[in-house]
Amino acid sequence: MPTLTRVAPEARDAILAWYAEQGRPLAFRRTRDPYAILVSEAMAQQTQASRAALYWERFMEQFPTVGALAAATPAAVLRAWQGLGYDRRALALWRTARIVVDEHGGRIPSSVAELQALPGIGPYTARAIAALAFGAPVGAVDVNVRRVLGRIVAGESISLSAPALQEIADDAVPPDRPGDWTHALMDVGATLCRPRVPRCDACPARPWCRLASHGASTPVAPRVRRNRAPAIRFAATNRWLRGRILDRLRAAPDGDWVVFDGAIGIHDRGQVRAAADAMAADGVLEIRSAKGPDPALRARLPLA
């Protein structure tokens, strides 16, 4: 069988029909508001879509428009973001809102190039917003979509370059349903076309998929990783420490300085200080040291 260079139209139709019946009813899929979609895509970065949807409704209640988000303090945005992790995404979203208000008249730009120029928006997110909010016939490629399309056209995605896969993704988009197609591919990747144990028996694209044609409904062998370092407990990670620092700051009133003068978990004072310094460099918090021979670290959420 020759290597396919595009997704068969029949496979696309089958995926869309499957999505119409079995697609996940996530809250943010009920809107075409570009701002609401921007927020949902920012939340879905590094977070499962189903989990992001739970926080999206709460966030949209607090900041219903891009103007409301732009007018908020970073502290308010970081508090509303609690539970999603990777808090730099919240500040990037806040900065994007300010740019949209100041430079785009309060309207989310519609082109991939303009979207990608905004803070925290990469190639995938820009194309997802363009397709979902503006009906642009562009393919949004993340790790899940890369896996789905790579398996359909080549049996795997490792052999396909990023430009080649982007070309395949763009070619596969139905001009009249780019939003549905974007969601459909994500759902196939999340629920059926899994990394290790793909559910080929339930996949609508099975008749046209090269992986399925090779009988790969059994576990796919993982790539061998040599000299893999031992797993690190989450409480020992810098990400855990940053989260605990932010939890303390979120619990304090705006403008109040919180004193950090001891260890947090297994992280000693020096590690706490190093984490706080890095967070200050990211703009996630502000720090101030008291005078004296052993100055305590004081920190607060940023107000501007």
Q: Could you tell me which of 43, 17, 40 has the C-alpha nearest to residue 27?
A: 40
SS3 49: helix
In angstroms, the CA 140 to CA 170 distance is 8
How much of the chain is in helix, strand and coil states, percent to nearest 5?
55, 5, 40
- Is residue 61 flagged as an active site residue? no
Yes or no: say if 260 and 272 are a contact pair by the CB < 8 Å rule.
yes
SS3 241: helix
Write the DSSP string, 143-205: HHHHHHHHHHHHSSSTTS-HHHHHHHHHHHS-TT-HHHHHHHHHHHHHHTS-SSS--GGG-TT
In angstroms, the CA 58 to CA 267 distance is 32
Tokens of 267: 């992280």
Sheet hosting strand 258-260, strand order edge to edge: 258-260, 297-300, 286-289
Phi, psi of 299 (to 5 degrees): -145, 155
Write the DSSP string, 244-268: HHHHHHHTSPTTPPEEE-S-BTTB-
SS3 71: helix
Catalytic residue among 41, 57, 156, 286: 41
Up-side HSE of residue 246: CA atoms within 13 Å toward CB?
A: 30
Catalytic residues: 41
